[in-house]
Amino acid sequence: MMRALLWVTGVLAALWGGYWVVGSRAALSGAEAWLNGSNVVYQDVSVAGFPNRFDVTVTGVSVVDTASDVGWSAPFVQVFAMGWKPWHLIAALPNEQEITFQDQRVSVESARMMGSLLLVPGADFALSETVAEGEGLALHSSLGWQVAADKAVLSTRATGQGNDHRFGLAVTRIAPGTLAQDTGLPAVIDAVRVDAVLGFSAPLDGHAGQTMPQVISVDLTEARLDWGDLELVATGQIAPDAAGFAAGEVVVQVTGWQALPGALRALGLIEPEFEPKLMQGLTLMSGGKDSVSVKVRAQGGQLFTGPLPLGPAPYFGVISTN
């Protein structure tokens, strides 16, 4: 009996070892194919973790989106998958990374940064869910500004409706530093939260390097800012117009609106000469109450509240028809 048990154990161990070898080779070739088929530059990619995991390590990694001129780089990225469910990936990022865009470099430091990615089993590797968490975050720009946050959590989940994914963001205890000086508000933002459904032009799957999915719609369930006595809650729907600028309408409920015009001016979101006009408009709209509802319309590349222009609308980029 013991001999038979040992024989069965040996056979199972050999089979599992063979599975790991085959799986590790598949993981390596898959990682290389994805990396080489995208705009990612890297020094080396390897697989370890025998016998229970597939640990993929990519060193000297960087990626640049030539369309938006945004880049990201890190000394390494590690992706782990358990042998019995290789479609569930866990990523570990280094404590120091760098983001580049336009004319500045931003170093990203963290006490911990992890991510989880759940794929749909199959040849297309379609994205099902993602979660990214960072703690003890600090951003330092080459232009001199700094931002810190206690914790940030980003999540996405496929809705099952076309190429839609639900997007969630929660950031707590944000210290904007010099970016928010002279706002008259506390030095720390209590929380920023976003819940939205994003529609994409193509599936988020293993072919994304070729199809280049773009955001084609945003259904904003709620975006919330809690900053001292100022509270903003926004809902609405927007989508890029033919020129790539946001178009649509968002309703913003503002509590403690008296602090808003000065904060927007200090943040550089409105021109100084527009501050008294906005204050006058909010005073009339509030009817003496501490809360006011403001409709923000995005049209023709500009933002408006009523007939008043607020500034340029967010830019999505021109949607490719290929």
Q: pLDDT-derived band of residue 125, with 50, 70 and 90 as boundaries? A: confident
Average pLDDT for 12-37? 51
Cα→Cα distances 293→64, 120, 211, 225, 233, Å: 40, 42, 40, 15, 9
**pLDDT recorded at residue 180:** 82
Give the pLDDT band (50/70/90) at residue 196.
very high
Token pair for residue 298?
A: 């995005």
Q: What is the pLDDT of residue 30?
A: 60
Half-sphere exposure of 192 (CA within 13 A, CB side): 14
Per-residue pLDDT of 223-240, as tens digits, reads 999 999 999 999 999 999
Rounded Cα distance between 29 and 203, Å, is: 22
pLDDT digits 0-9 by tens, 139-174: 999 988 899 999 999 999 999 898 999 999 999 999
Domains in the chain: boundaries:
1-66, 87-312
Q: How does pLDDT run across 235-260, given as a tens digit for each residue?
A: 999 999 888 889 999 999 999 999 98
Instruction: From residue 137, give the alpha-carbon distance in Å to each of 118, 245, 284, 308.
Output: 25, 30, 40, 37
